[in-house]
Copies of this chain bind each other. A is one copy, B any other.
Amino acid sequence: MADKEVFDFLIVGAGCAGASGAMYATRLNLKAVMVAELPGGLITTTHLVENWPGIKSITGPDLASSLVDHALSFGVPLKNERVTEIVNANLNPPEGSQSGFIVKTAGNEYLAKTVLIATGTKHRKLGAPGEKEFENKGVSYCALCDGAFYKGKVVCVVGGGDSAAKEALVLSEHASKVYIIVRRDVLRAEPVNADRVKANGKIEVLFNTQIEEILGSDKVEKIHLKGGNEMAMDGVFMAIGHDALSALAGPLGVDLNDKKEIKINRRAETNVPGVYAAGDVTDTEFKQAITGSAEAVTAAFFAFDYIGKNKVVF
């Protein structure tokens, strides 16, 4: 493999974290590349971001673009491919050296001295009958993406956290009525968003309520609730959390916590030398765009430090 291009720092993902790490890598003269299925990441499905420090209000897609463009303009290439596997390049590195990595996609293999896993999360499924059948036919995971299809309609958001509140607020700009269906007796939203929900005449919160089944013919028409009630419904938006996209980490021997999030330290190092993680895929407790970005910046620095101190072989 001696004649194949070797990257210093390969970033899996190009969301807020990945793009920030890529940009910083250029400040350290690292040869970096982003390999990402969804450039911009999950924040591209967010309506308005008001809490990126220094920017009072920006759309999710615009924030993502500014971060990705920063990395691109500083010379980091972006490969729009899904990484399927990461393996050690050398199973028996000579004493005193470390193995590099082979990062595989459907059509390519990349060699990298260090890897940053910034793959983020995916929306969690409710698992109710009808959910899969009606996906994109009334069942959605993104109010920003699909909300406009429900002008004047009745919709519900399933979930009891801040995401549910924000999704409901977005939907209230289109729908005639928005229910938030909360399993427990409390809506744990950011207080500003909880206040906005309360003040919004279109939104009604139903506590201690769960969906039993989603029903319709060629699209969603109603929901059955546990306990027997039925509600006419044109759209069902799921906001019940996210699952870490950490499947690449396990086979490398990277430690995960019980939520399958990648365990990192304050250097954004995992337990495997040369493998870093940042952003929503990690075990950071309070995950925000800005915290993921900072983790990736930190990872770039410690990858730079690692490459300076270690001989990496393939």
Residues of A within 8 A of B (CB): 16, 19-20, 23-24, 26-29, 50-56, 63, 66-67, 69-70, 73-74, 190-192, 195, 266-267, 284-286, 288, 290-291, 293-295, 297-298, 301-302
What are the residues of chain B within 8 A of A24 when measuring CB–CB? 51, 53
Evaluate contact between B51 and A55: CB separation under 8 angstroms: no
Q: Across the interface, name the chain B residue whose C-beta is closest to A292.
A: B294
In whole Å, how far is A139's beta carbon from the nearest beta carbon of chain B?
Answer: 30
The contact sample of 13 A-B pairs, CB cut-off 8 A, is A20-B53, A23-B53, A27-B50, A27-B191, A54-B66, A56-B74, A286-B301, A288-B294, A290-B290, A290-B293, A290-B294, A291-B298, A294-B295
CA distance A20 to B301 in the complex (A): 22
Counting every copy of the chain, the complex holds: 2
Interface contact B297-A285, CB-CB below 8 Å: no
On whether the beta carbons of A27 and B51 are closer than 8 Å, the reply is yes
Name the B residues within 8 Å of A288 (CB-CB).
Answer: 294, 297
On chain B, the residues within 8 Å of A73 by CB distance are: 56
Set of chain B residues within 8 Å of A53, measured between Cβ atoms: 16, 19-20, 23-24, 67, 70, 293, 297
Question: Which residues of chain B have C-beta atoms less than 8 A from A290's C-beta?
Answer: 20, 290, 293-294, 297
The A interface, classified by DSSP as helix, strand, loop or mixed, is: helix
Nearest-CB distance from A43 to chain B (Å)? 12
Q: A27-B192, A267-B285 are in contact. List 17 more A-B contacts (CB 8 A).
A: A20-B53, A24-B53, A26-B192, A27-B51, A27-B190, A27-B191, A53-B67, A53-B293, A53-B297, A54-B55, A54-B70, A55-B66, A56-B69, A286-B298, A286-B301, A290-B294, A291-B297
- When the two chains form their complex, are residues B29 and A195 in contact, meaning their CB atoms are under 8 A apart? yes
Contacts of A195 in B (CB 8 A): 29
Q: What separation, in Å, do the CA atoms of A24 and B192 have in the docked complex?
A: 11
Interface centre among A266, A267, A286, by most chain B C-beta atoms within 10 angstroms, is A286
CB-CB under 8 A from A20, the residues of chain B are 53, 290
> What B residues does A56 contact at CB under 8 A?
69-70, 73-74
Q: Chain B residues near A67 (CB, 8 Å)?
A: 53-54
* Cβ contact within 8 Å between A266 and B285: yes
Known A294-B294, A297-B288: A55·B29 in contact at CB below 8 Å: no
Q: Which of A54, A70, A284, A295 has the most chain B CB atoms inside 10 A of its CB?
A: A54
List the B side residues contacting A191 at CB < 8 Å.
27-29
Q: Which residue, A192, A290, A301, has most C-beta atoms of chain B within 10 A?
A: A290
